[in-house]
Each structure stands twice: as structure tokens, then as C-alpha cells.
Structure 1
């Protein structure tokens, strides 16, 4: 009898670690492709589901970059549909939400938000949580890449963030990289322009885009 009990303990000990250390699926992450007007939910290296979306107009683009979900709500209502997932974009309030304009899905139609069909946004809401990574990819210079927007003090967005990053790497800008074109960035641009024999406007024009390596 004792030998049988001892054998059971040995078998349990051998198999127990596999239950404790069972392989868990990685948490999902989101990728939004502005070219394709599509949102992908990715787990590990696999796309587990995708949805069509509406994204920002050229005048108010959806912010390109790597963000996180920092707020989730099921009672925003109105034009934001039944669910809201807010992102930690530093220069404004952006998020993923439903819509009362389903005909806009698949187009550049929003003020920078990512719109989904109401049934789809409910599904997505159930799959993610606070802290879920959200990567947004798309045309950094806008859809007409040969006519980038002139940037001036007061502008905000992904392109401003990119300029801040380039000037920080070149040791001209030491301020916060927040996508907001403020006084510190304007002064950094003027210093850059002076050192590169450019007109000291404090603005980003075609010549500055070329010098910074953003356009060839």
C-alpha cells in the first residue's frame, strides 16, 4: 500500500510543473493601417481578426506612432457609438470608437479618431484591456507625399513629433517630444536653420524637410 502511495506522489510531482508552467498565449495588440483603412488584432505573430475602419481626413489625420489604450468606456454614446478606447497621444484626445455613421467606414472621414462599426467595436472591446499596445502606420507626410504641410508654431501631430525626434538626435532640441510645436521647438529650428545657412523663419518648409532627411 505504501509503495503505491509513494508511486502516486512521484507521478504527481513529475506532471505538476507542466500544469503550473503551462504556455500562455501572449496578450493581443492592435495595428491600424491607414492606407488599408483596417484594424488588425494580433496575438503573437498571427492576425486573429481584422475590421474595416474610418480614419482621419488629411486636414486632421489619425496620429501615426506607437500608443497604448489608457481609457475604456461603454457609455460615451452619441456619435461615438457604444464603446470608446482612448489612446495616450500627448497632443490631443484620440481613440477608437463606434459610430452613428456606418457609411463612413473605409474612408478618410473622421477628425483623427478611428471609427468602427458598432458591432465590431463591441467585439474589440471584449478582447483588449488598459495597456494594450496600439501601433498606427500610414503616410507620415500625408497622402500627397510631394507636398508636405508647412509646419509653424501651434501645429500638432505625428509630423511635429518626427521633427522633434530628428532635431533631438541632432542635439538642437532638448524639450519634450510631445508632438506640439511650441516656443522651444521654434527656437531649435531657428538654430538649425542658422547653422545650415537657411532663412531663419522658425518654420519647417520643403528645404528643412530635405535637410532633415525626411524627403529625398
Structure 2
């Protein structure tokens, strides 16, 4: 009989231990599930991506959310002499209350040849026109909305033809057209530096070397003949 009592006591202790283990696992699982449930909205939110697209032919900024059209605003774009930089950029800076011509918000882009961004304005009548020095102007109330929506790192695609306003390029020029010439010289094996859109000494040296090998005037200028030789225009 004593042996049986010990055996039953042992079984009782084992059952209690198993019950405690099941309760502990259940509570831990439930806590983890609750924690995951609380985190799920932020996880979903972190997966939201925004993309801004602008066509330099039309002064409109379009915002896409997870690849779907979300909102749009009328803007002002660069004049023919100071074009809005065509390219695939990112927002790398966000600032409030720059004031003056920059309005109430600034969203800076990583354009390598200058300071360009999307910003407000103290000239709301310019919206819908080609009136800026290259930046994208918005009404202050509109840029404040955009500022609150998009994070740093947002992709900004500016569509257009860098050679839409064809010009003779020379030392010191900057812009998407300069960058395009650099990229073509690089593809041809004449230019080895970064294509930053700045017509500097290495760019001019590469261009002259290209001109020599293609029997073009060695003037260090990109003229119509050079554009043709680089297969940038017909």
C-alpha cells in the first residue's frame, strides 16, 4: 500500500507539472500572438511604399502608393534655360519653414550637380507654369500634405528628354544633358569618372579625345556634330 501511495503521488506531481507546462506555453503563445497583433498595423505600414512621378511636359506631380495612383497636385517646373532635372532620384532631406521662395516645406533630391527639391512657394500664381530655376514648386498647403505623407528615401522619377532644349555644351555647364553626354562617352570608353552632370576638366578631356578619334573639331565643345557622333541626335 505505501508503494501504491507513492506511485499515485508521483503521477499526481507529473500531471500537475504537465498542466503547469501547458498553461505556461498557452500563456506565452497568447502573449506572443497579442504582441504580433499589436505590431501588425506598423508592419503593414512599413510595407507601404510611395513613388512620385513628374513628366516635364506637364506641370503635375503624381503620387503613387504601393504602385497604385494615389493623389496628384499641380506644380511649377523649370524654365527652358533652367530645366527640372530629368532622372531617377530620391528624397534625401526634409525641412520645415525655409521661408521666402521655398515656402513652408522642402523635400531635397539627390541630384548630383546642384541643389534641387520639391518645395513650397511665395508665388502661387506660378503654379501650373514653367517658371522655376529647376526645382518643383507647389502651393504651400499642397507641399505640406506631401511632406506629411512621404518619407525620406521616397523615389522621385522625373520623365523627360534631357535634350529637349538642345544647347552647345561647354566647360562649367551643368544638367541632365551634360550627364547624358558623360554617360555616352563612358559607354564608348572615353570617360571613366562618375557621371555627375558637371562639365568639368575630365569631361572636357574625354570629349577632346573623342573628337580626335572621330575627326571632329577639337574645341572641347559639344555641338550638333558631336551630338550626332555620340548618337544622341540624328
The answer to whether the superposition gives a TM-score over 0.5 is yes
Following TM superposition, by how much is the alpha carbon of 1:174 offset from its aligned partner in structure 2, in angstroms? 0.7
Tell me if structure 2 keeps the 8 A contact 1:35–1:139.
Answer: no
1:97 aligns with 2:119: yes
1:72 aligns with 2:94: yes
Structure 1 unaligned segments of length 5 or more: list them.
none
1:151 aligns with 2:173: no
Distance 1:129 1:45 in 2: 16
Tell me if structure 2 keeps the 8 A contact 1:157–1:180.
Answer: yes
Tell me if structure 2 keeps the 8 A contact 1:40–1:50.
Answer: yes
**Matched residues, number:** 212
After superposition, the C-alpha distances for 1:185-208 in whole angstroms (9 at most, x for unaligned) are 101011111111111111111111
Partner residue of 2:133? Answer: 111
Tell me if structure 1 keeps the 8 A contact 2:50–2:67.
Answer: no
1:43 aligns with 2:61: no
Following TM superposition, by how much is the alpha carbon of 1:44 offset from its aligned partner in structure 2, in angstroms? 2.3
Partner residue of 2:200? Answer: 182
Max radius of gyration: which structure? 2
| 3-state SS in 2 of match to 1:37 | strand
Partner residue of 1:26? Answer: 48
Q: TM-score scaled to structure 2, two decimals?
A: 0.81
Partner residue of 1:58? Answer: 80
Following TM superposition, by how much is the alpha carbon of 1:149 offset from its aligned partner in structure 2, in angstroms? 0.4
Following TM superposition, by how much is the alpha carbon of 1:23 offset from its aligned partner in structure 2, in angstroms? 5.4
Partner residue of 2:7? Answer: none
2:107 to 47, 60, 85: 85
